[in-house]
Structure 1
Amino acid sequence: MSSSQYVHERTGAPAVENAGSGMPRGGARRRKPRYARSGGCMRRLLPQALVVTFLAGGTTAFVAEDKAIELSVDGRPRILHTYADDVTELLADEGLRVGAHDVVAPASGTALTSGDEVVVRYGRPVWLTLDGHRRAVWTTARTVDGALGQLGVRAEGAHLSTSRSQRIGRAGLTLHVRTERSVTIMADGRVRTVRTNAATVREAVEQAGVTLRGQDTTSVPPGSFPRDGQTVTVLRVTGSREVREERIPFPVRRVDDPTVFRGTEVVEQSGQPGLRRISYALRTVNGVRQKPRLLRDEVVRAPRTRVVKVGTKPRPGSVRGADHLDWRALAACESGGRPDAVDASGTYGGLYQFDTRTWHSLGGSGRPQDAPAEEQTYRAKKLYVRRGASPWPHCGSRLHG
């Protein structure tokens, strides 16, 4: 179709096959106009010719703005025709949004010409734990292998939580990587160096052919992450437990008692030692005995306080009618001269073998065998004044020599 034909189809004006022929469209011959009217016809055709020329030039400009561009989005290329002037306009026309972590080449705003290639690579978040350190990174790679290359992670000999061919979606993924490291293990007098991607020191030790038994441990925590170039010493530990029992001395409490003669002490409550049980952990590390470690210290039995009555009562004078008697001879006969003597039945006690009831009737307190010898003699003289020598039927005669 000629330019004039394109114009006529759009404007609806009759097509002109040959402006000078005077032939009507459709082949019907038209009368040749007279010369006098030919000027008027030319005047009518001139504006139409100008319009045809103008529109023909516009078509040429319209065609010139159409560009063939190769657009690749995340590795998927396609050819498209666009009237966009630059990369930014092209992306907007295609509904492609890009962010700070995405890559566009050439850069946004770059002018376009037909035949250009525009590449868009979307960023993908990766939550990476590398040798125990966790961080969030971004990558435009579409596989784990590509991401490791972009991030500069040495993957040879490394342990990966997923395969290297695993694709990374726009939502990203979580990735754990343990690179291969050199670790030196010192155990049982030998040195072993291993290349390992173990997650813990314990695993690295086992990979070196060393077994930890019982209480064995390492110079660094067995559960810690092994570092490149690290030296780990295996500690062979044997241990036992020791329990010791110790006596706890009982305290003594002294109480003044006005009913007991001065210089006299009476034990009101006997004391009893307590008992403490102490547990220790004993360890030997690589044959060297360590300082015992206290595990537990418990009181098994609390001590019982000893209570002593201290006499404050003024000591009595002599007992009239009894001072001249031989009290030493009577005491030797009754108790062998021992103030704390007690008979086999436990009924009588002291120098003069008082029973408790008689002792208390004479003003004594506690047990007679616990009182000083002077007090016992004083009470015996008082008893003699009351009843004579009858309380001592077998030894009473000794009083008179």
Structure 2
Amino acid sequence: MEANIRRFLPGNGSGMKLVISVISLILFVGVIIYAVYETTKATVTVMVDEEEVTVQTHASTVAELMMEQEWDVNEYDHIEPSLDSRIDGNMLVTWQPAKQVAMTIDGEKQNVWTTAEDVEQLLAEQNIEYNDHDHIEPAVNTVITEDLVVNYESAFQVELTSDGEQQGFWTTSTTVADFLEKENVSLGELDRVEPALEERLDEATDIRVIRVEKVTDVVEETVAFGTVTKRDDDLENGKEKVVNAGAEGQVNKHFEVVLEDGEEISRELVKTETVKESEDRIVAVGTRPAPETVSRSASPKPAPTSTPSPTPASNNSSSSSSESESKSSGGRTMTVSATAYTASCSGCSGVTATGINLNNNRNMKVIAVDPSVIPLGSKVHVEGYGTAVAGDTGGAIKGNKIDVHVPTKEEATRWGRKSVKITILD
């Protein structure tokens, strides 16, 4: 083989020199071409996350440069100048790779790509104008990193009425209960809240805390005494004698009172305590017939004679004697049907037709009459009741009927309806 190659060479010495010359020429041309190639490259400085990288490139655009360097570019990355910009001379390219951040905005979750440096810039990218009352977590100066979670809740105003005061509050709470907890509004066991604790909040919500308390109220009340009549054969008919004046009793009524914001809403009687029993008023009523009396001025009726008729003087004497007897009887007497009533009866005002306030005079002796039979204002003695004033009228009191006033409904029930003898004293 070597012999064959040598055969084609012009000569051993001169052929070798020729080959070396050709190879040298090729190498020289290659070096020149390489030098020219290298010297025609553009110098590009790339700033990546504040780190500087310098490269030599024949790429014509920024996009070709990124591909040439096998840099993975995301569509959300920020590159300046843009990818389609042409590379010219010494060039500075700023590249900010985008990061994915999980955001919750007013309860709505979403993933966003961002080139923001901190949370404040991220909010600006999302066109969120925040104020000091909004809830932002983490803080606005937090640096953005991969997989950062950002929570933003916009604040709104609500009105709170509690303990007699009305105030406006900025809040990001979602429910009434959450709002009261954040504002340190404590609730008692019985307190109420409107709207309910589980209701959601918005700008139209007005919250009212109603303070509820139960207290015990003890009311002292007097118990009126009743009047009991007893027949007494030792007293003349029509006369009365008070055996026992009677005494009012006392009870303490215990009420459970419900107050809302200091105003009474309801009360319920839970216990009645008797402090003192009442004592009946006992009246003895005379039943002994009055003794018959004969006028001393009267004389036995003479037998018929021929004696002339009495003179006018004797007639005047007889008339005077009869008038004296009428006055001594004490007035006009009649029998009537008697019922009883109280100042608090159904439809009663407690004030009589003549202006007597029976609410303030519970034990006053007053009877209702028919004024055409017994004049109003008259003093009348009522059998089994005593001396009373004719001070009232009634729609059902017509003719020989009266209605006697008693302090309590129990006494009115005990009285019932009875026939009694009355005497009009004046």
Query: Going by fraction, where is helix more abundant, 1 or 2?
Result: 1
Give me the TM-score of the superposition, normalised by structure 1.
0.41
Give me the TM-score of the superposition, normalised by structure 2.
0.39
